[in-house]
Amino acid sequence: MANGRAEAVAELVRRLGHDFRDRALLERALTHASVGEGVQPQTHKGPRDNQRLEFLGDRVLGLLVAARLHHDFPEADEGQLSSRLHALVDKQACARVGARLGVGAALRLSPGESKSGGRRKDGLIADAVEAVLAAVFLDGGLDAARGVFERAWAEELGRTPDRAVANPKSVLQEWAQGQGRPLPTYRIVARSGSDHAPTFTVETTVDGFEPAAAEGRSRQDAEKAAATAMLKREGVI
């Protein structure tokens, strides 16, 4: 398995198109918090996980996306830019990017997390993608991070955002009313991760239909993701 992961890391580096001067940064970006479970932080003996890098990568990604959209859509207003930005930085987009890069196979996980399918979990992959982007930024600066972003997000940038992506909660509300149902409801069913980078799981319910749940970095993001999940499941989008 170790050799398989080493090959996956090498392939990830090739797809990123960035030659790390400090490979420890990449290794940290690929290390999930489960690897250090049970180790007291003050001992400094546990492996350094990717949570801090994820925090930084989220901001680096937001800046790169905002700059790209500001350049590409000079006539768009703030609301339109915000909708497009959300579609490019949300957990689903990052997970798709990570899948194309092969991040899952390159992750460093605890045996338990690995056995539970961690390499296929969108949340873990999305978080690692942000951490990897932060590692590139720290290793090579903003230009290096921009180069990786342009390559890795090329397919996402080429997507045509539709109304459901921009405002899925409104679309779900209209669909529910069209079915003669009350307005959708949302509730938080789980929260995980650190205080500075939490992950929310929200469940949305429309009377007469099975609930749908999804994750997000904020309650709002998770509600949008859950609405999108229900719309897709019911064949609305």
Residues belonging to the active site: 58, 130
Q: How do strand 198-205 and strand 212-216 relate by DSSP bridges?
A: antiparallel
Of 235, 211, 15, 229, nearest to 106 (Cα)?
15
Distances (CA, A) of 28 to 92, 219, 225, 233: 22, 27, 28, 36
The 10 Å CB-count burial string (b at 16+, else e) for 153-180 is beebeeeeeeebbbbbbebbbebbeeee
Nearest to 227 by CA among 211, 125, 127, 217: 211
Collapsing DSSP states into helix, strand and coil, what is residue 138?
helix
Q: 């989220």: which residue's tokens? A: 58
- Exposure pattern of 107-121 as b/e (b: 16+ CB <10 Å)? bbbbeebeeeebbeb
